[in-house]
Structure 1
Amino acid sequence: MRRVFWEFVCSASVHVVYSSVRLIAYSKKGLFEKLQSPTLYQTPECLQYEKKSPIEHILLRPDTYVGSTIPAKNTDVWVISDDGLRAIQMSLTYSPALLKIFDEILVNAADNKQRDKQMNEIKVDVDQENCVIAVYNNGRGLPIEVHPTEGIYIPTLIFGNLFTSSNYDDRVVKVVGGRNGYGAKLCNIFSKEFTVETFSKESSRTFRQVWTNNMRESNEPTVKGEAVSADGTRITFRPDMEKFGTTTLDDDVCKMFRKRTYDIAGTLPGVTVYYNSEQVNISSFYDYINLYSDEDTSNRVLYVNASRRWQWAVKRSQNGFQQISFVNNIVTTGGGTHVDHITNQLVNIIRPLVEKSLKSNVKKIVVKNNLCVFVNALIENPAFSSQTKTVLTTTASDFGSKCICDVTTVQTWAIESGLVEELIADSIAREGRPTRKVKPKVADDLSNIVKLEDANWAGDVVLSQDCRLLITEGDSAKAFAIAGLEVVGRDRYGVFPIMGKPANVSRLSMEKVTSSSEINSLLRILGLTFGVDYSLSENRMKLRYGGIIILTDQDEDGSHIKGLIINLLHNFWPQLLRIGFVWSFVTPLLKARLGSKTLSFYSTAQYNKWKENTDNADKFVVKYYKGLGTSTPREAREYFSKLDEHLVQFRHENDDDDLKIRLAFDKNRADDRKQWIKDRLTAGILVDDTPASNSTFKNFVDNELFRYSWLDLRRSIPSVVDGLKPSQRKVIHTLLRQNSNKEIKVNQLAAAVALDQAYHHGEAALLTTIVRLAQDFVGMNNVCLLEPLGQFGTRHEGGNDAASSRYIFTKLSPFTRLVFPSADDHILKYLEEENQIIEPEWYCPIIPMVLVNGAEGIATGWYTRVLSHNIREVIDNVRRLIDGNEVENMVPCFSDFSGSVRKIVENRYEIRGKFKLLPSRRKNSPFLSLEITELPVGEWTNRYKENVLQALLSKGVIKYYSIRQGA
Structure 2
Amino acid sequence: MEENIISTAGLEYGSDTIRTLDWKEHIRRRPGMYIGKLGDGTHADDGIYVLLKEVLDNAIDEYMMGYGKQIVIDIDEVSVTVRDHGRGIPLDKVKDVSSKMNTGAKYDSKAFKKSVGLNGVGIKAVNALSTEFYICSYRDGRCKSLLYNQGNVVTDFPEEPTSEENGTLVRFVPDETIFKGYKYKDDFIESLLKNYVYLNSGLTILFNGRRFHSKNGLVDLLNEKMTAEPLYPIIHLKGDDIEVVITHINQYGEEYYSFVNGQHTTQGGTHLTAFREAASRTIKEFYNKNFDYSDIRNGIVAAVSIKVEEPVFESQTKTKLGSRDIGPEGPSVSKFIGDFLKKELDNYLHKNAETADALLKKILESEKERKAIAGVTKLARERAKKSNLHNKKLRDCRVHYNDTKGDNVDQSSIFITEGDSATGSITKSRNVETQAVFSLRGKPLNSYGLTRKVVYENEEFNLLQAALNVEDGMDGLRYNKIIIATDADVDGMHIRLLLITFFLQFFPDLIKKGHVYILQTPLFRVRNKKETYYCYTEEERINAISKLGSSAEITRFKGLGEISPDEFRHFIGPDMRLDQVSLKKEDLVKDLLEFYMGKNTMERQNFIIQNLVTDEDLS
TM-score when scaled to structure 2?
Answer: 0.62
Is 1:43 matched with 2:17?
no
Question: Residue in 1 aligned with 2:113?
Answer: 174
- 1:124 paired residue number: 73
**Which residue identity does 1:604 align to in structure 2?**
T
CA distance in 2, matches of 1:637, 1:238: 33
Q: Is 1:233 equivalent to 2:168 in the alignment? A: yes
Which of 253, 261, 268 is equivalent to 1:320?
Answer: 253
Letter in 1 for 2:28: L
Q: Distance in 2 between matches of 1:262 and 1:97?
A: 19
Contact 1:354–1:423 at 8 Å: present in 2 too? no
Structure 1 residues 53, 608: closer, same or farther in 2, change over 3 A? Answer: farther
Instruction: Give the equivalent residue in structure 2 for 1:164.
Output: 103
Instruction: Determine which of 189, 202, 206 is the counterpart of 2:143.
Output: 206
- 1:138 matched to 2:107: no
Partner SS state of residue 180, structure 1: coil
Unaligned runs of 5+ in 2: 1-7, 395-413, 425-436, 442-456, 466-481, 512-555, 580-613
The whole-number CA distance in structure 1 between the counterparts of 2:493 and 2:367 is 46
Cα gap change, 1:611/1:312 in structure 2, threshold over 3 Å: closer, same or farther?
same
Matched, 1:266 2:198: yes
Residue 288 of structure 1: CA displacement? 4.0
> Do structure 1's residue 194 and structure 2's residue 133 form an aligned pair?
yes
Is the partner of 2:61 in helix, strand or coil? helix
The total of aligned residue pairs comes to 453
Partner of 2:573: 754
Residues 319, 274 of structure 1: alpha-carbon distance in 2 compared, 3 angstrom cutoff: farther
Where do 5+ consecutive residues of structure 1 fail to align?
1-39, 74-92, 146-153, 436-454, 459-466, 472-493, 504-550, 566-580, 589-599, 614-621, 639-683, 688-706, 716-724, 732-752, 761-833, 837-967
Structure-2 residue corresponding to 1:394: 323
Preserved CA contact (<8 Å) 2:41 2:49: no
Q: 1:584 aligns with which of 448, 456, 460?
A: 460
**Which amino acid counterpart does residue 168 of structure 2 have in structure 1?**
T
Cα distance change of structure 1 residues 205 and 414 upon mapping to structure 2, 3 Å threshold: same
| Cα deviation digits, residues 866-897 of structure 1 (max 9, x gap) | xxxxxxxxxxxxxxxxxxxxxxxxxxxxxxxx
Q: 1:41 & 1:425 partners in 2: Cα distance?
A: 64
Residues 206, 96 of structure 1: alpha-carbon distance in 2 compared, 3 angstrom cutoff:
same
Q: Which residue of 2 aligns with 1:102?
A: 52
State the shift of 1:51 in Å: 5.5
SS at match of 1:65: helix
Give the corresponding residue for 1:64.
33
Task: Give the CA deviation at 1:122.
Answer: 1.2
- Aligned counterparts of 1:369 and 1:54: Cα–Cα separation in 2: 48
Task: Name which of structure 1's ranges 256-265 and 101-110 shifts more when overlaid on structure 2.
Answer: 256-265
The structural deviation recorded for 1:339 is 2.6
Structure 1 residues 241 and 316: CA distance shift in structure 2, 3 A: farther
In the TM superposition, what is the alpha-carbon distance from 1:220 to its structure 2 partner?
3.5
**Aligned equivalent of 1:942:** none
AA partner of residue 303 (structure 1): H
Q: Percent identity?
A: 18
SS state at 2:360 partner: helix
- Tell me if structure 2 keeps the 8 A contact 1:354–1:424: no
CA contact (8 A) 1:69 1:98 kept: yes
The one-letter code sitting in structure 2 at the alignment partner of 1:312 is V
The amino acid that maps onto 2:313 is: F
**Worse overlay, 98-107 or 367-376:** 367-376
Instruction: State the superposition RMSD in angstroms.
Output: 4.8
Shift of 1:56: 3.2
Give me the whole-angstrom Cα distance separating, in 2, the residues matched to 1:195 and 1:221: 10
Shift in CA distance, 427/624, structure 1 to aligned 2, threshold 3 Å: closer
Please list the CA deviations of residues 754-779 of structure 1 after superposition, one character each: whole Å capped at 9, or x if unmatched.
2324599xxxxxxxxxxxxxxxxxxx
Distance 2:63 2:440 in 1: 63
Secondary structure of the 2:178 match is helix
- The 8 Å contact of residues 338 and 396 in structure 1, kept in 2 or not, is answered as no
Provide Cα deviations, 1:342-368, integer angstroms capped at 9, x if missing partner.
332211012246672xxxx44324423
Residue matched to 1:645: none
- For 2:57, give the aligned amino acid: V
- 1:231–1:63 Cα change, 3 Å: same
User: Structure 1: which amino acid aligns with 2:120?
Assistant: G
Q: Distance in 2 between matches of 1:48 and 1:759?
A: 43
Q: Is the 8 A contact 2:416 2:483 kept in 1?
A: no
Is contact 1:300–1:417 with CA below 8 Å preserved after alignment?
no
CA 1:559 to 1:60, structure 2 compared with 1: closer, same or farther past 3 Å? same
1:183 and 2:2 equivalent? no
Shift in Å at residue 632 of structure 1?
Answer: 12
State which of 248, 263, 276 in structure 2 corresponds to 1:343.
Answer: 276
Structure 1 window deviating more from structure 2 (399-408 vs 99-108): it is 399-408
Q: How far, CA to CA, are the matches of 1:53 and 1:564 in structure 2?
A: 53
The residue type equivalent to 1:322 in the other structure is: E
Q: Tell me, in whole angstroms, the C-alpha distance in 1 between the residues paired with 2:101 and 2:72.
A: 26
Judging changes above 3 Å, is the alpha-carbon distance between structure 1 residues 64 and 623 closer, same or farther for their aligned structure 2 residues?
Answer: farther
Residue of structure 2 equivalent to 1:385: 314
CA contact (8 A) 1:302 1:413 kept: no
For residues 9 and 166 of structure 2, what CA distance do their matches in structure 1 show? 63
Partner of 2:567 in structure 1? 726
1:370 equivalent in alignment to 2:302: no
Q: Is the 8 A contact 2:71 2:84 kept in 1?
A: yes
Judge conservation of contact 2:41–2:182 (CA < 8 Å) in 1. no
Residue identity matched to 1:207: K
Highest Rg: 1 or 2? Answer: 1
Q: 1:185 and 1:410, CA in 2 relative to 1: closer, same or farther beyond 3 A? A: farther
Q: Any conservation in 2 of the 1:106–1:135 contact (CA below 8 Å)? A: yes
1:25-52 CA distances to partner (integer Å, 9 max, x unpaired)? xxxxxxxxxxxxxxx9943999998764
Summarize the alignment of residues 390-469 of structure 1 with structure 2, pairs less than 5 Å apart.
390-396=319-325, 398=327, 400=330, 402-403=336-337, 404-405=340-341, 406=344, 407-410=346-349, 412=352, 415-416=355-356, 418-432=358-372, 469=382
SS in 2 for 1:167: helix
Instruction: Name which structure has the greater RCO, CA cutoff 8 Å, separation 6+.
Output: 1
| Paired residues of 1:341 and 1:396 also in contact (CA < 8 A) | no
Tell me which amino acid in the other structure corresponds to 2:119. Answer: N
State how 1:675-686 maps to structure 2 within 5 Å: none
Helix, strand or coil at the partner of 1:376: strand
1:604 to 486, 510, 521: 486
Return the alpha-carbon distance in structure 2 between the equivalents of residues 367 and 468 of structure 1: 23
User: Deviation at 1:290?
Assistant: 3.6
Counterpart CA distance in 2 for 1:319 and 1:500 is 27
AA in 1 matched with 2:263: I
Give the alignment partner of residue 329 of structure 1, picking from 252, 257, 262. 262
2:507 aligned with 1:634: yes
Aligned positions of 1:813-892 closer than 5 A? none
CA contact (8 A) 1:271 1:283 kept: no
Corresponding residue SS for 1:324 = strand
| 1:280 paired residue number | 212
